[in-house]
Amino acid sequence: MANKLVIGNWKMNGSRKSNAELLSKILAPLERLESVDVAICPPFIYLEQLANLVVQSSIQLGAQDLNQAEHGAFTGEISGAMLRDFGCHYVLVGHSERRSLYGEGNDLVATKFQAALRSGLTPVLCVGETLEQRRKGVTLEVVNKQLQAVLDLLGVNQLGGGVLAYEPVWAIGTGETATPEQAQEVHRHIRQYIAENNSEVARTTRILYGGSVKGDNAAELFAQPDIDGGLVGGASLDVHSFLSICKAGQPRHT
Ligand code: PGA
């Protein structure tokens, strides 16, 4: 079985000073963990600083977004090739904040997924329903559509070149976490949905859970059969919380 993967999404937080402090406290303890993969996604402008800080470690670097074009007149944008140039391995695509605050729809997200693969990055495709959609009982349809846009553009094998993250929007930054059962239900559904196209890709694709993952709920979430790790926002900025979450990603020796 693949290692669990924990990705810290710093969002628009950090400073050169606080980044260095955080890294000085998490680097050594993370190196002592076994069989868990860890990545951090700082704001673009700090990628070079973080690339230097993690260079001797097993922590991988990711970015929070990319532009779908390779280069050109796109003021303010960052391409996949640039992210590779700075040592990025992962890039988030379709985070719910990008979808809701910056109007990114499923088709655009699919082209970003494609651009990430083209640049040699591993895209982390974020999917998930709003509270209103959950209340209406359309959670699975919403998630299907979000996945289908990538399947339509690229097919199942390329979808499997990425990582998926189920992030119920109502659980992001709210302190309200999906219960392990609620999360597992959607994760299982996502795996089945992929399996309808290709069972091998369904088996090997990592599906992370995101939405108020904390030190005290990570172990229970990661114990679910279809949860392969976490996408962690707020708690990834706190030394103690992030370390406990990463620790919870280690295989359980029973
Ligand atoms: P949160 O954010 O852990 O602060 O809820 C998760 C995310 O947005 O990826």
- Assigned token pair, 38: 């860890």
Residue 78 near residue 67 (C-beta atoms within 8 A): yes
Query: What's the gap between Cα 79 and its chain centre?
Result: 18
The whole-angstrom separation of Cα 156 and Cα 161 is 9
Domain 4-248, CATH 3.20.20.70 — does that match?
A: yes
The DSSP bridge pattern shows strands 4-9 and 229-232 to be parallel
User: pLDDT at residue 222 above 90?
Assistant: yes
Percent of the chain with pLDDT over 70: 99
Average pLDDT over residues 52-57: 96
Q: Given a cut of 70, is residue 253 above it in pLDDT? A: no
Residue-level pLDDT at 218: 97
Asked whether 66 and 121 are in contact (CB, 8 A), the reply is yes
210 lines ligand 1 (CB under 6 A): yes
Q: Residue 210 and residue 169: Cα distance in Å, rounded?
A: 9
pLDDT, position 252: 82
Helix H segments across 5-95? 16-32, 47-54, 80-85
Catalytic machinery residues: 95, 167
Give domain limits for the chain: 4-248
Claim: this prediction has a pTM higher than 0.85: yes
User: Tokens 């695509």 sit at which residue?
Assistant: 93
Mean per-residue pLDDT, 207-236: 97
CA dist 143 to 38, 102, 127, Å? 25, 19, 6
Give the contacts of 122 (CB within 8 A, at least 6 positions apart).
89, 90, 91, 116, 161, 162, 163
**Distance in Å, CA 254 to ligand 1 centroid:** 30
Type of residue numbered 249: G
Cα 6–Cα 11–Cα 16 angle in degrees, nearest 5: 100
**Cα–Cα distance between 147 and 159 in angstroms, integer?**
9
Average pLDDT, the chain: 97
CA of 72 to the centre of ligand 1 (A): 32
CA distance 170 to 146: 17
Q: Indicate the SS3 state at residue 183.
A: helix
Pocket test for ligand 1, best of 41, 64, 99, 213 (most atoms within 8 A of CB): 213
Tell me which of 1-5, 47-51, 99-103, 209-213 is least confident: 1-5
Atom of ligand 1 nearest to the CA of 212: 5
Under a CB-based contact definition with an 8 Å cutoff, are residues 229 and 5 in contact?
A: yes
Q: Does the pLDDT value for residue 191 go beyond 80?
A: yes
Cβ–ligand 1 distance for 9 under 6 Å, the answer: yes
DSSP string covering 217-254, please? THHHHHTSTT--EEEESGGGGSHHHHHHHHHHTSPP--
Res. 254: pLDDT tops 80: no
